[in-house]
Chains A and B, each alone.
Chain A
Amino acid sequence: MHQNSSEYKKLLKKAERLAYSGLFLMGISIGLLFLKIYDPTLSIFEGKQEIAEVIDEDLIENGIHVRTGFVDDVGLMTVVNNCTNCHSSKLVIQNRMNEDRWNATIKWMQETQNLWPLGDNQKIIVDYLVKNYPPVEKGRRASLTNINWYELKK
């Protein structure tokens, strides 16, 4: 009888533990479910960096000015302050020109786009652009690059 009752107690303990762990898992699942409903992209886990992006206007990461995408080099802020008021930095970064053509582009922007006189800043800006965004020779037709290979399903 004694022995039986201790066996019985052990079983009861085991059942109790099982019930608690079940309850615990259920709690976690419900939590995850709510998280998924209210934050489907689960952005809560990646939010910090984005907040930093918005708040710190001068943040440089891996040599790149995070707010504009410009390369960090001498003249960066002169470029940011003079070249991103009307259009975005993306228009500058896409383009590859030599000194002559950047100067011609600045002249065109002054004649037609209300760009102000740049004074001594013009040389700083053009030097920065020519150094960091130089033209790349592509020839008459470049090879296909960055091909993402995939199995074509029939």
Chain B
Amino acid sequence: MRILDLISGPMVWFSFICFFCGTLYQVIVFYTLSKPRPRHPQERPRPHLGLKKEPEILDRTSLSYRFAMFRLTVFGRDPGMMIMTTIFHVTLILTPFVVLGHNILLDLAVGISFPSLLEVATDLLTLAVLACCLFFLFRRLLVPTVRAITTPSDLLMLLIVAAPFLTGFLAYHQIGNYDIMVLAHMASGEIMIMALPFTRFIHMIYFFINRFILIHENTLGKGGSRVWR
């Protein structure tokens, strides 16, 4: 079997199986490491005490209060990084689904496809991902706080993320050897998908766990249901 057949055939399925099984495993690990807890135990109704609620001194609905609170959030403290990281993560996840080439292959393979964007639009999305990767690279090398905890593995992670987008862009524009670029694009994409649940990329899973399941002051949705053991 040629290496191209292996990478474009069984390896695709293997990488997706690794991704889904790994994600499931990590979710199970989280549930074993955490325990359920009622949301606001201190706010249980206690009518027998007949306590009246104290009047609020602060107007928590005012714009100035909300702005002051916003400035205390991670977004308020570091807006540049947060805007870049939001653009990066949204484009990183969205782009592979809306690339016309991917959807044609998906349609041929399993008969389903996602809506595709214009090729020029996906090109821009790809460039956005690459620009964000460069931003993170410079942030890692230049910002003292980030540099203090940067290890070679962080740079490797960045390379793993950037590689499928860079090779995909080069292959589409036929820059360099097309066959090698396509092969490198598929291989690097599969490596990234396989690495997601088993490496530092599991922050993808833990971001949602933290925001929707763990109980803390910034939990979204219903306020969370679990705490760490």
Tell me if chain B binds chain A.
no
Which residues of chain B have a CB within 8 Å of any CB of chain A?
A: none
